[in-house]
Structure 1
Amino acid sequence: MPSVVLITGVSRHLGGVFARLLCEQESIERIIGVDVVAPPHPVGRTEFVRADIRSPMIGKVIASAAVDTVVHMSVIATPLHAGGRATQKEINVIGSMQLLAACQKAPSVQHLVVKSTAGVYGSSNRDPALFQEDMAAKKLPSTGFGKDSVEVEGYVRGLARRRPDIGITMIRFANVIGPRVRTAMTDYFSLPVIPMPLGFDARLQFIHEDDVGAAMVAATMEAPAGIVNVAGDGIITMTQAVALAGRPVLAVPPGTRGPLNFALRRSGLIDFSPDQLDLFVYGRGLDTHAMRALLRFEPQYTTREAFEDFVAAGIRPLDRAADLTYAAGARVEQILQRAERLLPGSKDPASIGRSS
């Protein structure tokens, strides 16, 4: 059972939801949350430490608190939320490398839980009906969040080889949706007009935002389970999703994903990678037997119910205020780290603004 848990990405919505749920586990003695900006939401009894996982100083946080369980929730799915693709990749890839290096050096760490994505399976016309955890992508993601997640999972496997005593649980979530979370999917179905590939009706699977937090708690409290798919039961087609959203449709040829992605990015409304747009052409399905057998987790919402809950709350305008705050914090930490490298005597960036 975990005793001291460290959570990355605690200032983002899903990280905060997970932190609050984990605080209900009375057997856990201490919970530490780290991020580049202070949480804008309650995090229960979680102790907040302002720290950037891209900095080697994250190792000092883990070592000083004798952390035994690390929960990595700081892989960002949308570049607009992080301040651009370059910053997104730095946080996702460089940040994960530093965090895993810190875990490798810390003898106290016994369990690593990673929030990953079903996007590592890619999406193509050669895919199976349902991806099982031991299956590989028929077409690997080449850009964006999916590519970052493939790299992160590779680093996690490397850690498992170097430190076989650390138990690994890696959760590959279906696309997250809900009334309060901001994801690529909520942005897409909030567009004034929804582009839909002409001649295709992809199968989609979703996981409700509330179920993400509950699944991460199960992964943290249960024994290490390896790689586990997590998704709501059933599927929903693109046609059904668009009808439920009540938005007009713009039919686009599937071969125009590049220009479409460029136009959406230039509009400032949404930033999908071409690989994410492939999902709307070919769809994707997940086998979830391991979710029940290993995590003993049962989602509260089916795929359709999760989407209906998102729609019932009212599709929101695309508010960038929270994104700008987080992106500014990430940028400041990046500048401080560069200053530290140039001026070795300057103040430790991981300690600036630290609070609890």
Structure 2
Amino acid sequence: MGKVVLVTGVARQLGGRFVRRVQRDPDVDRVIAVDASPPEHHLGGASFVQADIRQPTIARVLAEHAVDTVVHMDVTATALGRDGRGSRGSVKETNVIGTMQLLGACQKSPTVQRLVVKSSTSVYGSAPKDPAVFTETTPPKSLPSGGFAKDAVEVEGYVRGFARRRPDVAVCVLRFANILGPAADSPLAEYFGLPVLPTVFGYDPRLQFVHEDDAVEVLRLAAHEPARGTLNSGTFNIAGDGQLLLSQCSRRLGRPTVPVLLPAVTWVGSALRTVGMTDFSPEQIRLLTHGRVVATRQMRETLGFRPKYTTAEAFADFVRSRGPGLLPPSALAGAVDRIAALPLAGGHPSAN
């Protein structure tokens, strides 16, 4: 008998992609795809079960299908927006209450042997005195006070409690950097889709990305029995090699930036949310102010995963999928370089 894998959050593009990918593995017998809303994309040969993980019915689903592997992908920053789950309160309920219900069901299940949880590097927060690079054991300087980042912190706390109560279950937590790609639907992807990018005056944060293809592949790897010399349990940072400055991102997109003084950034974010342009949340403002970079040594050496895409390559693929910006990237880069060379900008007149 092969594995029976249950996947939550399959109505989203990333969840659907993972379901289609994992069912092709030879040691997987069945895939049970779960979401409160029917997906608009196909799920291949997976069995779709319409169920809300916030409800106790998820325990019955685990029991009926004798699930041995659970991949929890329904921890997200934004709602789907078409099924009534659009408010921040309902998203938090799905993230936190849904995770509690799912873990309670897993704890009672005699068949569950492996649990994989999609988390986020946002658990480290973004603060002015952060270390240059976060490892998996680095405590945040300032715990997230709200939004998705706080949800992720709470979710990981409940997962650690589950791991203590069920030491026989292999638990793997994957902390993803911002996921980008042609189908990316995150708040940061929406931000990069703006015709003009508001930035925080005086700050140029460092950012990391992981390509959606790599995200699917590392989830698949974590859901399997570990290969020799690797360990598919524990907590791992997941990100592509390298980093990009926000200014580099804007030039590669061909989108100009509008620096805004820090006290006014919150007002700009509220205005953008009001007109429905993007979810410019306080946690995203902190990321776009202070940035965040994580170490991925454990991902490579312990988990045994090497991303196909670097941070720059993941961003380049995202840029190709979005089409040209207001300005050609080469022209925008040249204009920025010329401005930087002006004496008032600290450059050398001879550079002109």
Q: TM-score per shorter chain, which class?
A: 0.7 to 0.9
Q: Match of 1:299, as an amino acid?
A: P
Aligned residues: 317
* Cα offset, 1:80, TM superposition: 6.8
Match of 1:111 among 88, 97, 114: 114
Q: Residue 54 of structure 1 aligns with which residue?
A: 54
Q: Residue 309 of structure 1 aligns with which residue?
A: 317
Q: Residue 174 of structure 1 aligns with which residue?
A: 177
Q: Residue 289 of structure 1 aligns with which residue?
A: 297
Q: Residue 37 of structure 2 aligns with which residue?
A: 37
Aligned-partner Cα distance in 1 for 2:304–2:2: 17
Aligned-partner Cα distance in 1 for 2:127–2:80: 25
Q: Match of 1:182, as an amino acid?
A: D
Given that 1:190 and 1:315 are in contact with CA atoms closer than 8 Å, whether structure 2 keeps it comes out as no
Q: Is the aligned partner of 1:225 residue 2:233?
A: yes
Please say which of residues 163-172 and 289-298 is displaced more in the overlay: 289-298
Residue by residue, what CA displacement relative to the aligned partner does 1:41-90 show, whole Å, maximum 9, x if unpaired? 12222111111101100000001111111100001212574411011111
* Cα offset, 1:314, TM superposition: 2.2
Aligned-partner Cα distance in 2 for 1:80–1:57: 21
Q: Residue 77 of structure 1 aligns with which residue?
A: 77
Q: Match of 2:60, as an amino acid?
A: K
Question: TM-score, normalization: structure 1?
Answer: 0.86
Report the aligned-residue RMSD. Answer: 1.6
Q: Residue 183 of structure 1 aligns with which residue?
A: 186
Aligned-partner Cα distance in 1 for 2:221–2:300: 11
Residue by residue, what CA displacement relative to the aligned partner does 1:268-308 show, whole Å, maximum 9, x if unpaired? 11113212211111111111011112221111111011111
Given that 2:23 and 2:31 are in contact with CA atoms closer than 8 Å, whether structure 1 keeps it comes out as yes
Question: TM-score, normalization: structure 2?
Answer: 0.87
Given that 1:194 and 1:242 are in contact with CA atoms closer than 8 Å, whether structure 2 keeps it comes out as yes
Given that 1:190 and 1:316 are in contact with CA atoms closer than 8 Å, whether structure 2 keeps it comes out as no
Q: Secondary structure at the match of 2:322?
A: coil
Aligned-partner Cα distance in 2 for 1:118–1:17: 22
Q: Residue 193 of structure 1 aligns with which residue?
A: 196
Given that 2:211 and 2:240 are in contact with CA atoms closer than 8 Å, whether structure 1 keeps it comes out as yes
Q: Residue 93 of structure 1 aligns with which residue?
A: 96
Given that 1:143 and 1:273 are in contact with CA atoms closer than 8 Å, whether structure 2 keeps it comes out as no
Aligned-partner Cα distance in 2 for 1:150–1:316: 37
* Cα offset, 1:162, TM superposition: 1.3
Q: Match of 2:209, as an amino acid?
A: F
Q: Secondary structure at the match of 1:308?
A: helix
Given that 2:69 and 2:114 are in contact with CA atoms closer than 8 Å, whether structure 1 keeps it comes out as yes
Match of 1:102 among 105, 121, 126: 105
Aligned-partner Cα distance in 1 for 2:102–2:279: 27
Aligned-partner Cα distance in 2 for 1:130–1:93: 27
Q: Is the aligned partner of 1:65 residue 2:73?
A: no
Please say which of residues 74-83 and 152-161 is displaced more in the overlay: 74-83
| Superposed counterparts of 1:157-168, under 5 Å | 157-168=160-171
CA separation of 1:310 and 1:56: change in aligned 2, threshold 3 A:
same
- Please identify the structure whose Cα radius of gyration is greater: 2
* Cα offset, 1:119, TM superposition: 0.3
Question: Relative contact order (C-alpha < 8 Å, sep 6+): which is higher?
Answer: 1
* Cα offset, 1:316, TM superposition: 9.6
Given that 1:79 and 1:271 are in contact with CA atoms closer than 8 Å, whether structure 2 keeps it comes out as no
* Cα offset, 1:260, TM superposition: 2.4
* Cα offset, 1:35, TM superposition: 0.5
Q: Residue 256 of structure 1 aligns with which residue?
A: 264
Given that 1:201 and 1:238 are in contact with CA atoms closer than 8 Å, whether structure 2 keeps it comes out as yes
Q: Residue 19 of structure 1 aligns with which residue?
A: 19
* Cα offset, 1:180, TM superposition: 1.5
CA separation of 1:15 and 1:197: change in aligned 2, threshold 3 A:
same
Aligned-partner Cα distance in 2 for 1:59–1:316: 47
Which blocks of at least 5 consecutive residues in structure 2 are unaligned?
Answer: 227-231, 326-352
Which blocks of at least 5 consecutive residues in structure 1 are unaligned?
Answer: 318-356
Residue by residue, what CA displacement relative to the aligned partner does 1:166-186 show, whole Å, maximum 9, x if unpaired? 111000000011112211111
CA separation of 1:315 and 1:156: change in aligned 2, threshold 3 A:
farther
Aligned-partner Cα distance in 2 for 1:151–1:315: 37
Aligned-partner Cα distance in 1 for 2:91–2:209: 23
* Cα offset, 1:257, TM superposition: 3.4
Residue by residue, what CA displacement relative to the aligned partner does 1:83-136 show, whole Å, maximum 9, x if unpaired? 110111111111111111101111111111000000000011111111111111
Q: Secondary structure at the match of 1:29?
A: strand
Q: Is the aligned partner of 1:204 residue 2:207?
A: yes
Aligned-partner Cα distance in 1 for 2:58–2:161: 19
Given that 1:133 and 1:227 are in contact with CA atoms closer than 8 Å, whether structure 2 keeps it comes out as yes
Match of 2:247 among 228, 239, 246: 239
Aligned-partner Cα distance in 2 for 1:3–1:29: 5
Residue by residue, what CA displacement relative to the aligned partner does 1:140-187 show, whole Å, maximum 9, x if unpaired? 111111010001001101111111111110000000111122111110
- Percent of aligned pairs with the same residue? 50
* Cα offset, 1:209, TM superposition: 1.0
Given that 2:187 and 2:280 are in contact with CA atoms closer than 8 Å, whether structure 1 keeps it comes out as yes
